[in-house]
Amino acid sequence: MAAVILHVDDSPAIRAWVASVLNDDRLRIISASDGVEALNILATTSVDLLLSDLEMPRVDGLELAQAARNLPQHKYLPILMLSTRRAEELPEKRRAPVTGWISKPVDPVLLRRWVQRLLPG
């Protein structure tokens, strides 16, 4: 069975690029354009990894991560943040729900390694 990745980014180009980088029969990518759409998906869908942009309208990536952690079915969901900002630029308490952080521009090899490391099995 394919692992399910929820990828959240307000840029259609980035969503398409990530889907192409992670194009693999063992992965199923669900895309959302912002944190509100992602929360609606998380409320009804079981996912294995949340991959999110940091800076998005309505609900940013860190707010999304915290909200995902508050859903019982996603309490231990691995969350990988993609951002033009470095993790160290944000208070540790604010980034606590995040499992990993990749700075943009994203190296496709590094992204695939992180995904392999965070997915079950």
Helices 35-44 and 61-69 sit at what angle, rounded to 10 degrees? 20
Q: What is the pTM of this model?
A: 0.92
The 10s digit of each residue's pLDDT in 6-48 is: 999 999 999 999 999 999 889 999 999 999 999 999 999 999 9
Domain ranges, ordered by start, for the chain: 3-118
Alpha carbon distances (Å) from 82 to 1, 6, 18, 85: 26, 13, 11, 9
Q: Which CATH number fits domain 3-118: 3.40.190.80, 1.10.490.10, 3.40.50.2300, 3.30.420.40?
A: 3.40.50.2300
The 10s digit of each residue's pLDDT in 73-92 is: 999 999 999 987 776 676 67
